[in-house]
Structure 1
Amino acid sequence: MKSALSGEAQRLGFVAFGVADAAPVPQRAERLEQWLGDGRHGAMEWMEARKDQRAEPQALWPEARSVIALGMSYAPAHDPLALANAPDRGRISVYAQGGDYHDTVKKALKSLARWLIAEAARRGLGDVAVKVFVDTAPVMEKPLGEAAGLGWQGKHTNLVSRTHGSWLFLGSIYTTLDLPPDAPHSPHCGSCNRCLVACPTDAFPAPGQLDARRCISYLTIEHKGPIPHEFRAAIGNRIYGCDDCLAVCPWNSFADAAAANLAFLPRAELAGPKLAELLALDDAGFRSLFAGSPIKRIGRNRFIRNCLIAAGNSGDLNLVGQVEQLLDDPDPVVADAAIWALQRLSESRNISHEDTRMGEDGAGAVRRSDTVV
């Protein structure tokens, strides 16, 4: 039964498959409790609101006996860091450049669940109940994926597969059917700490620990208010999420872009959008551009806030006019970001003018050097 289930999962587009026991694991609950107790979930109150159900599958659904853990690839064909030196463009996390993974993964999960119920009945295994989850319920997909043998949680806390790297969308099926569990995956990070070093905001207090309050993905997606000033410069031109800790992981060199689901191929307009065009979006334009994209859920105001931070970091004086138009935006968070961006661009303008003046005056250039020394 399990072998047949794995084959059907592969047919539906899943590249990773494993089974974990739904029984409680005390260490899992303890780690979650510690993380929440330290406040590292930031403003994600929903993480704490249903922590007991999140900690263990049977706390969410007592009848569950097995957890079927699944992964669908979105491995990119391009370098996720390619736009790091293109300040006039916004960087969108790889996972959000294509279609909304919630829709694609959940559709496949439901198809697999229906197949499981029918196949169990055909084999005389009785009535089998199932529940499917993808990122919108109190489910700890990464620890369950590790327990099911899909991979291990790396030092950046993301699941790492030896075959697919970290480019996996995770989903799970809770079922009343007893399936033989797979062995948990052992860690293979070794002494490598590239992901920890690559983080622009030092969001990892220690290997295997993440402080979401410092994470660019959290700040640009989950955080609703003004982005703290201490992180604004480090955000650079990232306007939705951050791939740095994933992109530098050596295991991702084994990921095959050909295994990625076609639904997640990047849309041309999202692979490297110009900040000038994004700053001009009103609510209708935002909704139109990001229809069918996970970006749509954060709304126009939060997105424009992110674009203004990127504009301020760009040093592109051509953006001054558009930034100025957002100074009186009805949303105070947007207006705050516009004020900051304009100040940053003004500093860039002053530096540019100073460089020009010094270049015309040899003596001035010497004096400036003396000052720097």
Structure 2
Amino acid sequence: MKFPEFICLFEPYFKQKKSYRDFLIDFIDLVIDDEKIDENPFDVIDNSFARKIVKGESKFPFDKARFLIKTGNFNKIKFEDAIFEIPEQEKIKIVEELNRNGIQTTLKTFEQTVSELFYEIISDIASGKNQKKVSLNTNSGQKDLEQKYGLSLLQECNSLCPLPECSKPLYVKKDEEKQPYFQIIQINPQKPYDRLYNLLAVCPECAAKLNMQKNEHDILRLCEIKQRMQRNEEVSELAAEEKIEQDITALIEKITNAESARLSELNYSPVELKKKFLPSEHQLEDEIKPRVVKYFNFINELLKQKVEKENFNETKFRKAVKHIYENLETEEFEKTQIFEAISERFYNMSKNSHIACQILASYFVQS
């Protein structure tokens, strides 16, 4: 995909009533690393030249591409944050257009795919040549891709060859242990060889057939297989999130309606809780500790009952809650903010008592 084709995908959302000059400047601003530079290489151009670049009538200037890439000024994360704000209906249109162009993505992978694609386009311009083609038949090429994408690709197809006529396991058993047995192939040889959206994990037999002879029909079929697996993955994740919300809601409802007679306080000070706070964080510790002492045993018993009576995976449930915490922690929030955010997340799931949500959040701080 060339730069004019790429930028036109975002024109309905970012251009609106702007001139082509302002549109191009603002669009490039989305990737410029503000901590490194305070200038935009397109500040000096006029509206006529900007229009020609956007419309593909003039090439994206080589020197400006080098400025963005060679000095490390291209900030992918900043660009992902900007396009995250695009309304979902607009994103759907862009996803569909990318898929039609052989670039496989979904709403879930949209931001990452698009930022990588943008960087790749500018890199190609800066290098002054086409994307370097690398054979996936070489051991070194396969090894690099397996290290980078192997686990994701195996999870995507549930470790089974995704070609419907095959479906062989992508592993062999050796000494009672499963060892990976697969190869990574390109979906479309005309697209970048080392992008997740253009790769599939298949069995070595299918890889040999496809690498020897791959026609347009094969490429279209592989694209459809990739899209189907990505849709299935999204559905599975949505179902898992829905199940977590149901479990959280059920727990909070029982906490809300808990009778005093069923609450047996801990007969010891919560040691784990003490380890998780600095002396300067004593106020949050003082807020959480009484709830842990009073409700810890009760919530433990609720979880035990769910394991015994329902189709409840406690390990998976705890990992999901921990994932909520880790996502907040990466934003470098203070612990008070994280605790409040988790409590609010529980409330948004259950629409029940704020106090009960804080009690459950306190339990997971300790546990």
Q: TM-score scaled by structure 2?
A: 0.25
Q: Which is greater in Rg?
A: 2
Task: Return the structure number with greater strand share.
Answer: 1
